[in-house]
Amino acid sequence: MTKPIIEVKNLAKSFGKNDVLKDITEQVNPGQVIVVIGPSGGGKSTFLRCLNLLETPNSGEVDFDGQNLTTLDTKKVNELREQMGMVFQGFNLFPNMTVLENIKLAPMKVKGMDDAAATKRAHELLDQVNLDDHADAFPSSLSGGQAQRVAIARALAMDPKVMLFDEPTSALDPEMVGEVLNVMQELANQGMTMVVVTHEMGFAKSVADRVWFMADGYIQENNTPDEFFSNPQTDRAKDFLSKILM
């Protein structure tokens, strides 16, 4: 049996009196693609942000590569974050830097990579997301789909072991969703471990190894996409699917 790369044990997180995550215990194996779906406000973003400690859990454990993140000091946490790339709904590109500089910043400042090596690597990644001709553009001149692909390339520049996606296509015009999903599918094909929060059911069906259905602070169902979509177990999931698929 393979060792899981991410193990979540009894994770709980609340904001004041709002118990957003109540008790979550799940694991992700290397190479797996997990799609997290569920109603808005159900805690999906919070869960993802707990995985790389952008949010500090109130209790429970997040183990990454066998290390319990919640007990590590700040420096170690920074080091572990390098290995978990994250892509946001709003891209969050650095507006004052060119596309190339966006990608080069962290490898140079965090890993101490020299300029030539970082530039070379950035061009490779831009090639991978089909945007090498935009290397010197500023983010404001990019379309949403292009910006999100740059954001993916930027996260990949740190050579992460896991990629976390938080609704990467939700802010995009419909005609741009495809180009981003293609890049993600490509990544999955290459064997990248991914945890993806999305409402793109087509992507979930074709790419995911497991679907986690999250609502009311719990993972209500953990199943294969086929099983989940054809035969949901809980009323909560049935209700959600009927609304989303119509």
Q: Judged by CB under 6 A, does residue 243 bind ligand ADP?
A: no
Q: Judged by CB under 6 A, does residue 20 bind ligand ADP?
A: yes
Q: Judged by CB under 8 A, does residue 88 bind other proteins?
A: yes
Quick one: which segment of 15-23, 38-46, 137-145, 148-156 binds Mg ion (CB under 5 A)?
38-46
SS (H, E, C) the chain: CCCCCEEEEEEEEEECCEEEEEEEEEEECCCCEEEEECCCCCCHHHHHHHHCCCCCCCEEEEEECCEEHHHCCHHHHHHHHHCEEEECCCCCCCCCCCHHHHHHHHHHHCCCCCHHHHHHHHHHHHHHCCCHHHCCCCHHHCCHHHHHHHHHHHHHCCCCCEEEEECCCCCCCHHHHHHHHHHHHHHHHCCCEEEEECCCHHHHHHHCCEEEEEECCEEEEEECHHHHHHCCCCHHHHHHHHHHHC
Q: Judged by CB under 5 A, does residue 32 bind Mg ion?
A: no
Quick one: which segment of 38-46, 107-115, 171-179, 188-196 binds ligand ADP (CB under 6 A)?
38-46
**Identified binder of ligand ADP from the candidate list 24, 28, 33, 45, rule CB under 6 A:** 45
Nearer Cβ to ligand ADP (142/212): 212
**Identified binder of ligand ADP from the candidate list 3, 10, 18, 78, rule CB under 6 A:** 18
Cβ at position 4, least distance to other proteins in Å: 21
Cβ at position 21, least distance to Mg ion in Å: 13
Q: Which residues bind other proteins (CB under 8 A)?
A: 52, 54, 74-75, 78-86, 88, 90, 92-96, 105-106, 109-110, 138-140, 151, 154-155, 158, 164
